Amino acid sequence: MNRSTKSKAAAGFTLIELLVVIAIIAILAAILFPVFAQAREKARQTSCLSNMKQIGLAFVQYVQDYDETYTGMGSLADPVNGGTTNFVPYDGLVMPYIKSDKVFQCPSDDEYDRTPASTFGYQDGSYKAKGALRSYQYVGQLNTVQAGGTDTNTGIGGAYTVPFVGHAMADVDATSETILLVEGWTKYAASASYLSSLSSSAFVGCDTWKLAGRRLKSTAAEDQLPTGCAGALGLSTTPGHAGGANYAMADGSVKRLSWGTVRKNDFYLFKLRKPVNTLAP
């Protein structure tokens, strides 16, 4: 009996089939990787919003415990230079209500725990309160009036004069629409005379506030600092996340606002006394 044997070719992919599979995988990766990155950033944004909410609520508790008044400037011993400093930032004052300094770090902040500069102060937290710079070389107090009753809050800021006393909650026209905490800060080089285009509102020294898109004075060029104010350290609100940034308001609530909304409403959002009744759309 003759047996016929058939040789069976080993199963497998041809080169063309392998190339097609690789091409499909590459296309899927190109589509999905940005989606995964966006999902991670969305998670970081949510975590940041939660952090700011905790800090905002800490402010509310502080206000309730201190005669309906926001944090001003505390006086503590200076462990670096000796003596006493009048420049205790907001985080040191609200820390008893938070307990963890990790709350002050935005997950998207790559410069957290930055090295201090030689001539300017620095902050190792991601959220800049109205006047909060974690530094003894303090440059401005955004939510205060000068002791003695002189109002220094013509925009969102104060002056170099100390001591500072926090504003009362009653001083705020609309606590839910007045920004208390922002993301980001800006330092201007001593030789610089122009503000960063990313800054919405920045302290430029000389007790002068520049609101982006508006001239400092009628004789100054757009975004140019007044004479003698170069080299100032400024607070600003920058797009901390895709499409916008998180903000804590004076009532402890938190909001995500687009860059365009902040630019359009800077005079409204950053002022205690509102020049208009509502936010511009």
pLDDT tens track for 22-46: 888 988 888 888 777 778 888 888 8
Taking the C-alpha atoms of residue 261 and residue 242, their distance in angstroms, rounded to an integer, is 14
Say whether pLDDT at 250 is over 80.
Answer: yes
Beta bridge partners of 154: none
- As for how many domains the chain has, the answer is 1
Residue 80 counted as domain residue: yes
User: Is 12 inside any structural domain?
Assistant: no
Question: Is residue 249 situated within a structural domain?
Answer: yes
Residue 4 lies in a domain: no
What is the domain range of residue 219?
Answer: 17-269
* Alpha carbon separation from 172 to 23, 67, 69, 169 (Å, rounded): 59, 15, 11, 6
Q: Do 232 and 203 contact (CB within 8 A), yes or no? A: yes
Highest mean pLDDT among 4-8, 97-101, 266-270: 97-101
Calculate ∠ Cα 48-265-127, nearest 5°. 25
Task: Pick 202 or 19 by higher pLDDT.
Answer: 19
pLDDT bin (cut points 50, 70, 90) of residue 261 is confident
Q: What are phi and psi of 181, to 5 degrees?
A: -125, 140
Contacts 24+ apart (CB under 8 A), 122-126: 123/89, 123/185, 125/91, 125/101, 126/48, 126/51, 126/183, 126/240
Q: Answer yes or no: is 1 within a domain.
A: no
Residue 117 has pLDDT above 50, yes or no: no
Reported confidence tier of residue 161, pLDDT bands at 50, 70, 90: very low
- Identify which of 44-53, 79-88, 211-220 has the greatest average pLDDT: 44-53
6 located within any domain:
no
Q: Is residue 189 part of a domain?
A: yes
State the DSSP H helix or E strand holding residue 85, giving kind and residue range, or none if neither: strand 84-88
What does the mean pLDDT of the chain come to? 62
164 has pLDDT over 70: no
Sign of CA dihedral 41, 113, 253, 214: negative
Reported as a pLDDT band with limits 50, 70 and 90, residue 65 is very high
In a domain, 247, yes or no: yes
